[in-house]
Structures are given as structure tokens and as C-alpha cells.
Structure 1
Amino acid sequence: MLSVEDWAEIRRLHRAEGIPIKQIARVLGVSRNTVRSALRADGPPKYERAERASIVDEAEPRVRELLQAFPTMPATVIAERIGWTRSMTVLKKRVAELRPVYLPPDPASRTAYVAGEIAQFDLWFPPITLPVGHGQTRTAKQLPVLTMVCGYSRWAAGVLIPSRAAEDLFAGWWQLIASLGAVPRALVWDGEGAVGRWRGGRSELTADCQGFRGTLATKVLICRPADPEAKGLVERLHDYLERSFLPGRTFTGPADFNAQLAAWLRLVNTRPRRALGCAPTERIAADLERMLPLPPVAPATGWRSSTRLARDHYVRLDGNDYSVHPAVIGRRVEVLADLARVRVACDGRVVADHERIWAKHQTISADEHVTAAKALRAARIGLLRPAPVSEEVQIRPLSDYDTALGLTDGGVA
């Protein structure tokens, strides 16, 4: 079975680099039919493997203590200090992963970017408490802002998302790229759990990220730990947001926050940058021209699940219950949700469409669903109740029974 990584690389080499199918097959060691199938597919091949704990997990806190005190301590000496008696290969890989965190940073240098080459992404956690309706509020750790800065033009964009879950993060990621109108050839991220991390001396992307970047036919680069210069553009944007955007503002909810943020970013993108000598609006056209076109089929993002609708005709998503038309009780439905809407479909027909609620533990009911449920319950009760007797029963006098039994006024006949 073709791995997700090979599938994504095949699409990038063919669409971004223009390499022919025959050459891709020779480079990757696969058949040409495999390459053609990967190019025709709308989504990545499904592959699931249960995660297994490592034997070095228990020793990691002690390894971190030693590296914090002596960042250059060899792995063999660390093994001696902690009394390690298991495989050295496993320990060396973990030490190589942890060591960069404790080494002193490298000197900074100015980086030049080519048009269409790169865009940096990160999560910003504004120090605010935001109302989300139903009497609830959320902190920045629960409602992060996904930000983007294009390297060549310094074009900035951002959107508040409901959570750091992969479903919401990738939906916001696609929203930013779609609004840009093109795909940068490399997407730079810090070690965000839903995207990937730096492990064993190399970047390691999640399966969801491999499928996402394969659909876009681009690269995703994970920054090394303790290397803030690698995404300095987006870090400076975060500082600018806290100094210029937040002060003096109040927000009524997530929609109001995103509206104010979008208006502020439109203004910011018209301001000249000292490093550029011009505003991002003067360079964005050249940047977009060198980027990749948007894919013909949008990547699958957001929440997607399938379930059989229970008798209470509600489905649960992200801690909230949403009503569904009771006519499809007992049938399998598909739940689809993005940053703004929650939809439920049955056999290709939409049977529920709600605004997504960012509060938690709420029950959202549509009036038409409640009315339909009452009507169906009344109809079912009518079917189960016995029909009333329409004919009247004759009431006979007691003397008729005496005559029938042979009884007379004087005694027994």
C-alpha cells in the first residue's frame, strides 16, 4: 500500500516541479500505474496504526534534567548516569530529539525570500477572555488565533478558531490559504501537535498533515526546537497584534473578534514595511503569481463522522448536542462541521443545518425538528391506541334472563 508521504510527494513533484510520471516512478521506486493512481486520487490513502509507548518515556524526565545542566553530555554518559540497561538506539534517538531544546541559540541572520516560496503559520494566544454565548467565556488557550505571513510580500492574515483540535486547525488553515487565492510552495510551522514535530533529527508530519499538503501539492516544514528565527515573521506579527490590535478593544464574541481582526489586517497590509521599503499590497501580486494554484478539489477539513441517529434525534459535536429531523431516526447520517456551521446529511440530503456554537454542553434545537417530533409521536400513539366501539350495546331487563333460565314467579319450573 502506498504511504501517505509518498502519495503527497508524488503530487508535489508532478504539480509543483513538473516532473513526468516515468521519472517520478523511477525516483520513488514505484510503478507508473501507482503514480497515475496517486495523481487521480482526490484524497490520501487511508492508513491507521495504533501508537505504542516507548520504553524511554519513563526515563525522559531524568534525561531532561541532565541535558538542562549539561547540554552537550553524550548519550552514552547519560545512559550511565540514569542506569540505562535497555537498547541504546532508542535512548540515543530520544536524546537527539531533546538536546536541541537545551543548546544555546545560534546567531541570527537576515533571510531573503523568493516570491511564492514560503508562508509562515503559527497560533497566537491573545491575553483576553472572550464571551462565547450562553453565559460562558473562553480564554486564549481555548480559542487560539491561527496566523499567516507570506515571506516575500509580508502579507498577513489570521482567523480565530474554536480549538487546537486537528479538525478546527486544518479548517482554519485552509480558510487562510483559500482567502489568499494561491498555495505557497512551502508552509512553515512550529512543532504544533496536529501538524507535526521535530523528532530524531528530522521533521515528522502527522497523517492528517500529509494528506492536507498532498492535496495542495506543497511542502510543510517543521522548525527545529529553540530556533525562533525560523519563523520570525509570524512571531513579529504576534507582537504587533498585542501592541497595536488589542489595546482599547472589546469583543462581543468570536464573530466580532474575527470581523475586527480582518478589518485591522486589511489596514496593516497597506502600511509600508521598513525591511521591504514598500507595503505588502505592492508585492502580493508578484507573490501570488509565483505560488501554486489552488487544488481543483478542496482538502477534506473540519469535523466528519458517521453515526446512526438515535431516538432522541440529536447528534453530539465538540461537547454540544444538535437536533436532526426525526424523520431519519434509525438511519445512518453523516455529521459535517466547519468553523461556522454544523450540518447533518442522510443519503445526500441535508436534514440539519445549525450555526456552530462555541460554548460547551449546550443543546441546540431547531423549531421545525421539535414540531416534527411532536407530530410523529402523536401519530405513533394514535396507531397503538385501540379504536373505540362504534355500535351501542343493548341493555336487557333481568326478567329476560329469568325466562331464559326457566324461572317463573312462583319458583323453579
Structure 2
Amino acid sequence: MYMEIQQLIKQGFSKSKVAEKLGVSRSTVYRNLQKSPSEMAEWVESIKTREKKLDPYKALILSWLREHPDMSAAQVQDWLQERYESLEIGESTVRAYVRELRTEYRIEKETLPRNYEAIPDQPMGEQMQVDFGHTKQRTPDNQEVKLSFIAFVLSNSRYKYKKWLDRPFTTQDVIKAHEDAFRWYDGIPREIVYDQDNLIVVSENGGDLILTKEFQHYKETRRLNLRVCRKADPESKGKIENVVGFIKHNFARHRVFHNIDSWNEQGWQWLNRTGNYKIHNTTKKRPAEVFSLEKQHLRPVTEKLTIKNNYENSITRSVHKDNTIRYLSNRYSLPLGTFHKYDTVGIKETEDKQLFIYITDTGELIAKHTIPEGKGQLVKDRSHSRDRTKGINAFMDTVAKRFEEVDSAYDYLSIIRQNYPRYIRDQLQIILKQTKENNGAILSAALKECVKRNLYSATDFSDIVSYIKRQRQVDGTVTDNARAVSSINKISGWLMDTEAQKRTVNAYTEILEGESN
């Protein structure tokens, strides 16, 4: 640029035109014209050799940016201060240094834009907002784990608290987290704002909130004033939405998970170092400093509340119309009819991988399953299936008792059931009709003949019954079963030896030719 400015001036361009052509300010042109070529060379050389405050950490920062292109300068600063507690450096210095590294090594930043709408600040001590979040982290052996956290923020000071679990939250966990937050704040705000989470709220009920049994008891014990956001209304709790995003993207992103205790410890250190110490972009104040004033407006925690273990685990799940619930990517069966009685049920996972499912209001246990390995499975209790055999068994008993030889009849019907499992009800209907229209002697004779000739179907049974009736009309009333069977044998043999009349092909040809003529 220095050489281009010198050449354009020699060609007769004014300083303003030179600045316009090169796209620089006139002061830049003036500065370059004041320096001789040797002075300019010395200045350029000094820039190349000048050491910057973050140069000792260049390799480390560069490794972070290459591994995590979406890493922000703010997170770089936090990680540096986490590793080097004595390092004091301004945000603008870190931003400029990170920007230069990205330009020099062509590391483009990946962005995940997220928009929020601001709402008016509440008075000190007036409001606290609460919400949940989830992240997926990598372990030292590069395995993925899913973590859950609950976050709290005071609306005025933006002072934050959070707690993590390596499993889904229960209502008891939520209550304990509230107690931990009140100890962290050393007080209770006048109003707490929640999302419509099923660990806390059963139904919005037009403003008359219906809470879960455990949380309702806790609310009354602590005398909490709750407000639940309407569905699809994130603006009403925008502060906690920002906090959840801040925790995910500044603290959790790219951090390696070892165990839940150390993870929570790192989280609290992060709150003191960055989350509550860094100047807030909106208020332009440090939350920790404002909180020192706001804490005076909180309601004192008069007594320590003991969280008893008799709070039932109230993770809830929606009941689907096929009478199943979904939990950890698997489906679990419920007794038939549950869908028509309950919208949701409570679940509890035990240490020995058992899943208990119960009615939320009464605590009545309705199902118990073993949690399997893997995902996408249907875990089904046989007792939850429709007992399709119960009606058939009763139907078979009814039909068999209409015969004089009940046991033989039941054995005969059982073989029919094996042969026609999908049509057994139709088969039984046909035989039942025959038992209603004929006397015991005819039924007994037909049964013996069918068993003898291995005829196990309702239509065969009906045909035999019809033949016996016709034969008796010819021979007169036959009371001796053996005589009837003997007649059947004769006729049956005749039927077996009888052949249908067959025509030759020439006969069909003559018929067709005659029609065409």
C-alpha cells in the first residue's frame, strides 16, 4: 500500500483521490507520505517481531480453534482463565487475537444464530426464571453421554445457578435443586417463572394451575408464588432462555465429561469465574456485583427443609393409543384399556434396571419391566395382551358339552382348532348349529365317523350329519349307532368308488362348431 500511494502521488493524483482509489482514509495516506522508505521498512519489520500478550498461548488457542471452529472468543478467554488463574487479559484483546488467528490460518467460524426478544426488567428480588436443558458430551474414551441440567436466574441481577445430572430429572430432583438454589442465593424471590414442564405442571387449566402432587406439597411448604408460561411463548422467559444457551455454548461445548461430581464442580467454578462475573451484554454490569444489592430484597430462608425420600419419582410419560409408553428410545407395554383411562402415567427406574409404571394420582403400580440393552425395542408383558384364547376355550367347552361323549368331542374340536387356528370361531359356529338342529344319537354317530375317517373340519362334520339324516329317512328310525355307522360305511365306499361322467374332447368340439354355425 505504501508503494501504491507513492506511485499515485507521482502520477499527479490528489491525496483525496488516492484515498478514494485505494479505499483507505485520508489520514492513512498522510501517515504513509510522512515516512521515508527506510522508515516504512523498519516499521513493517517491528510489526512482524513484536510479541503479543497471548503469543505464549498461541499453539493452545490454535488447537482449540482447529478442533472446534465454532468456538467463541469469550469461551477461549474462559478456558485460558480456567487453566491459568493468574492470567489477566481484556475481552477485546482476546477477540482481536482470535480474529487474527482465524484470518491467518483461514479458520472460519461456524455460527448457530439464535434470536430472543427482550422483556422489561423486574424489580430487585421480584422474579426468578427456571428452565431445563440437555447436552451431549464426550468422555475421555470418546463415548457420548447425555446430560441434563436445571438453570436458575434472577431477572434483575442476572445472577445464575445450575445443577447437572447424568440421568433424567425427577420431581424430587427438581425440589432438591430448588433448595440448593435458595441456599446459593441465600433467599427466595417473590415469583418463580417456569415452562410447562411435566415434572412440575400437570395442566395449565385456564390459569388455575394443577401441579404434580409432590411439587404442590413443596409449593405450599415453601409458600412459593409460581407463574407458568403459556405454550409457545418463549419471550415471557427470555432471560432463562439466554442462560440455557450460555451454559450450553460457553461452558459445556467441547468440554470433556469425566463424572457428574467433577462436572458440577467445574460448573460452579465457571459460574464464579464467567457466568456471574463476566459483564452482561444487556445490563453492562457484572451479575455478581448487582446481586450483592439484590440479595437484600430476597425473602430469607427461615428454616432448612429436609427433602424426604418418600417423594415419589414422578417422571411422567404420555400413554399412546396402543397402550405403550416410550422411555429411553424403547416402548413398554401397559395393561389394555390404560389409554382410555389415563393420559399420562408415572415411571421410576431402579438401580437394578427395573422400570416401574404407576398411576400418578394414586401411586398404584400397573406394570413392571426389565430395561433392555439397546434401543428401538418393544418390551411387552404377556399379561398385557388380549387373551384371545379365553373366549375360544369357553366356546369349545360350550360346543363339546352338547355331545354325549364330551371328552371325545373336545378332543375332536381341539384338532380342528390346530388345523384352522384363524377360523376356529367360524368352525365352532358351524358345529354349534348342527348340535342345535340334531339329537344326541345323530351327533354321536357323526362324531365317531369323522374320527374314524380322519375328517377334522366343520364342513365334513356337517356333511356326515346330513348323510346320516338322509339315510335314516330311507331306512326308518335307527336307534342303533353301530347300524347307522355300518350304513355310512357302505355308502361312503360307494361314494369313493363313484366317478363323474367324462366327455371326450370331440364332444366339446362339435358343440362349439355347432354354435358358430
Is TM (by shorter chain) over 0.5?
A: no
Structure whose CA Rg is larger: 2
TM-score by structure 2 length?
Answer: 0.36
Q: Which has the higher helix share?
A: 2
